[in-house]
């Protein structure tokens, strides 16, 4: 049931990207739909192999790259070193990272979005994309 749902959703994403629907890609996209975190390629690979053991590293990277290039997936590099992925179908948000636990939270601020556009405009620019990350420590008071 849940599997069917994700599977169909996933197939749609793949077709939208102009990619053929293969077992391996279905496994990868399902992992992305089920992910509640921001997995990197290695984690996606491991989880996808749980669904279909035949998924190779090359296919994981190629599929993630293709989906990201088509704009269906967002790439993040929170720490540096590893690229993390997130479905672009999710509503826009920025990230708050707990530097002690590594937990990543999401937030939205229309005020900040608005200020960003104003700043870009002052320089004569239009924003194509932006990245806002807050690295934080839990307040102990």
Partner DNA sequence: TTTAGTGCAAACCTTTTGCATGGCT
Partner DNA sequence: AGCCATGCAAAAGGTTTGCACTAAA
Pick one of its own copies, DNA, none as the site partner of residue 123 (Cβ within 5 to 8 A by kind).
Answer: its own copies
Chain-centre distance for alpha carbon 88: 6
Q: Which two three-digit tokens encode residue 6?
A: 């994700």
Q: Is residue 42 at the binding interface for DNA, with CB under 7 A as the rule?
A: yes
Regarding 24 and contact with DNA (CB under 7 A), the answer is yes
Q: Which is nearer to its own copies, 18 or 124 (CB)?
A: 124
Q: Binder to DNA among 82, 121, 127, 136 (CB under 7 A)?
A: 82
Could you say which of 25, 30, 47, 95 contacts DNA (CB under 7 A)?
Answer: 25
Burial class (CB in 10 A: 0-12, 13-18, 19+), 29: buried
Is 130 assigned to a binding site? yes
Give the Cα separation of 37 and 40 in Å (integer): 10
């Amino acid at each position: 049931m849940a599997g069917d749902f994700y599977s169909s959703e996933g197939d749609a994403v793949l077709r939208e990207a102009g990619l053929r629907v293969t077992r391996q890609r279905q496994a990868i996209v399902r992992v992305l739909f089920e992910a509640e975190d921001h997995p990197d390629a290695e984690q996606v690979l491991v989880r996808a192999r749980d669904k279909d053991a035949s998924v190779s590293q090359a296919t994981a990277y190629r599929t993630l790259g293709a989906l990201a290039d088509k704009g269906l997936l967002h790439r993040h590099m929170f720490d540096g070193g590893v690229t993390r992925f997130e479905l672009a179908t999710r509503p826009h948000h920025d990230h708050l990272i707990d530097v002690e636990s590594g937990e990543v939270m999401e937030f939205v601020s229309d005020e900040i979005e608005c200020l960003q556009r104003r700043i870009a405009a002052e320089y004569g620019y239009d924003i194509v994309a932006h990245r806002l990350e807050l690295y934080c420590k839990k307040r102990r008071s």
